[in-house]
Structure 1
Amino acid sequence: MSVAGEGGAAGEREQPEPQAGAEERSGTHLFALCLTPEPGKEVKEVEETIEEMLIRLDEFCGMTDMIRSDTSQLLDEAIPLIKVKVMEMNNIYTKVDKLEAFVKMVGHHVSFLEEQVLQAEKTLGTFPHTVRKLLRSATIPLFRNKHTSLPQHMYDLPKLYRTEDYFPINYVGTKYQNR
């Protein structure tokens, strides 16, 4: 018995008695583990953020590709059409400029002829020629003798423009154009 008792006593001595500091350390460690989130949760959040950023990057790349294709379509299709329209408009502008010059020239001729008509009216009187003929043929001698003393002037028409020179018969837009 004594051997067993001694061995039993010796076995009790070999087990270390728990110290108060070790228990506190293991409790603190457990408490710290409870407060920190799981490492798997953080990894999932990072992966989700990366996935969202990759989706946004794909959307951005898609938009830039769409812009590039629209730009190339614009350069290939729309710009040549715009150039053709610009050339057509330049032709129209040229015609409008020529028409403005024509109208200005006609205006000068009209004012010249109007001045000549006013001068002729002053010279020959304000009565038109047909009224004077009627008065001459009347039996009243007062009117007959009054205008017989005026000398007869022949009017020479000044050389003016010819509309056909500016707008030929086969000109586009005229009613006489060749069909």
Structure 2
Amino acid sequence: MADMSTDRQSLSQSQNSLNSSIISGDNISKTNDEITSEIASEFCKFLNFNVEKEETKFNDSVEMMLTKLDEFFSLVDMIRSDTSLCLTTTLPQIQEKCAEMEFIFDKIDKLEVFVNMVKDCVAATEDKVTKAENELGAIGGLVKKLTSFVSLQKKSPLQAASKGKKPEFIPPEIFSTEDYLSPPAFNATQSTEEFGHSSQ
């Protein structure tokens, strides 16, 4: 652009000199062809400008766009490969693990039922023990023994007979673990090896 402004300045100077020569009468000896040639040469200087800088900028911008396109294509290829990997490998593995988790969830539900049943059995046993302690007089038994030792000679046969009668104890129903937890399979070979190691 600086070259174009320089050419414009030279053209304006040429035009000014041409106009001054015309005004001063220098063109009397010049023909129309010569005047036309001079004007054409001056305009030719105006049209001759350097485009190398603009061409360099354009080429640089094109190279930058091509580089960005290459990076974009590489990114697209990477995403495509990751997508194919997810569809062919990762997704089937996730589905398989989901099926395994359903089996584990079923086991957890059964275990919760078993824990609740054990809790109920323990609570029932504690109630039976508390009731038996109250009936048999485990609390404060030492006091009763001392009083009975003092009045041992004064008991009547009827009181002794009534004392000998004990309340009937009904044991609570307790679950069997074999009904809920299967025992591990017995491996004869493994047991033989373990016995050999223990004997050594």
Runs (5+) with no aligned partner, structure 2:
1-27, 188-200
Q: Deviations over 1:89-117 (max 9, x none)?
A: 32222222211211111111111111121
Report the equivalent of 1:62.
74
Mapping of residues 134-153 of structure 1, within 5 Å:
140=149, 142=151, 145=155, 149-150=162-163, 151-153=165-167
Report the equivalent of 2:102.
90
Q: Distance in 1 between matches of 2:133 and 2:50?
A: 114
Bigger share in helix: 2
Q: Distance in 1 between matches of 2:152 and 2:96?
A: 71
Q: Distance in 2 between matches of 1:24 and 1:14?
A: 16
Q: Distance in 2 between matches of 1:143 and 1:115?
A: 33
Q: Deviations over 1:3-58 (max 9, x none)?
A: xxxxxxxxxx9852865x9857755653x457x432x4433432332232122112
Aligned-partner residue type, residue 177 of structure 2: T
Using structure 2 for the length normalisation, give the TM-score. Answer: 0.59
Runs (5+) with no aligned partner, structure 1:
1-12, 171-176
Q: Distance in 2 between matches of 1:178 and 1:143?
A: 60
Mapping of residues 93-112 of structure 1, within 5 Å:
93-112=105-124
Report the equivalent of 1:120.
132
Report the equivalent of 1:168.
182
Report the equivalent of 1:173.
none
Do the aligned partners of residues 108 and 71 (structure 1) sit closer, same or farther apart at CA in structure 2, a change above 3 Å counting? same
Matched, 1:73 2:88: no
When structure 1 is superposed on structure 2, of 93-102 and 146-155 the one drifting more is 146-155
Q: Distance in 2 between matches of 1:102 and 1:110?
A: 12
Q: Distance in 1 between matches of 2:44 and 2:160?
A: 140
Q: Percent identity?
A: 33
Matched, 1:51 2:63: yes
Q: How many residue pairs were aligned?
A: 152
Q: Distance in 1 between matches of 2:121 and 2:87?
A: 50
Aligned-partner residue type, residue 31 of structure 2: P
Match of 1:37 among 33, 37, 50: 50
Q: Deviations over 1:55-84 (max 9, x none)?
A: 211221121111011111111111222222
Cα RMSD (Å)? 3.6
Q: Distance in 2 between matches of 1:76 and 1:143?
A: 90
Aligned-partner residue type, residue 178 of structure 1: F
By relative contact order (CA 8 Å, sep 6+), the higher-ranking structure is 2
